[in-house]
Chain A
Amino acid sequence: MDYLKVVFDVVGLGSDRITLEYCSAAEGAKYAEFTRSYTEKIRKIGPNPIFKKK
Chain B
Amino acid sequence: MDVGKPYKATPKAKLPPIEALLKTMLEEKLVDKVLGAKVDKDVTQVKPEAIDKAENVKDMNMPAYVAFNFSKMDSASKFLHKSMGGALNSKVGMFARPCDMRALVELHKRRQVNLDNLITIGIEEYGQVEQKSLKKYFTDKKIDPTKISSVRITSPEKVEMVIDGKSQVFPFDATLQICRNCSNCRNKLVRNADIKASFLSGDVILTPVTKKGLDAMEKAGKLLDYAESSFDGEALLKEMEAKGKAKQLQEIAEFRKKTPEQKMAALGSCTACGICIRACPVCFCVDCILMAKRKAKKIDQYTFQLSRIAHIADTCVQCGKCDSNCPKALPLNIYFNDIAMQLEEKYGYVSGRSIDDVPPRANVTDMRARYKRH
Contacts and interface: CB of A to CB of B under 8 A. Distances in A.
Q: State whether these chains interact.
A: yes
Interface of A: 2-4, 6-7, 9-14, 49-50, 52-53
Interface of B: 258-265, 267-268, 302, 306, 309-310, 313-314, 335, 338-339, 342-343, 346, 360-361
A5 to B, nearest CB: 10
Contacts of A49: 260-261, 263-265
Contacts of A4: 310
A15 to B, nearest CB: 11
Contacts, number: 53
B265 A10 contact: no
Nearest to A7: B310
Contacts of B264: 11-13, 49-50, 53
B343 A6 contact: yes
Contacts of A12: 258-264
B360 A7 contact: no
Given A6-B339, A50-B302, A11 B360 contact: no
B196 to A, nearest CB: 33
Between B259, B264, B268, B306, the greatest number of chain A beta carbons within 10 A of the residue's beta carbon is seen for B264
Contacts of A13: 260, 264, 306
B346 A2 contact: yes
Contacts of B261: 12, 49, 52-53
A54 B312 CA distance: 28
Nearest to A52: B261
B363 to A, nearest CB: 13
A51 to B, nearest CB: 10
Nearest to B262: A12
Contacts of A9: 342
5 contacts: A4-B310, A10-B338, A11-B335, A12-B261, A53-B268
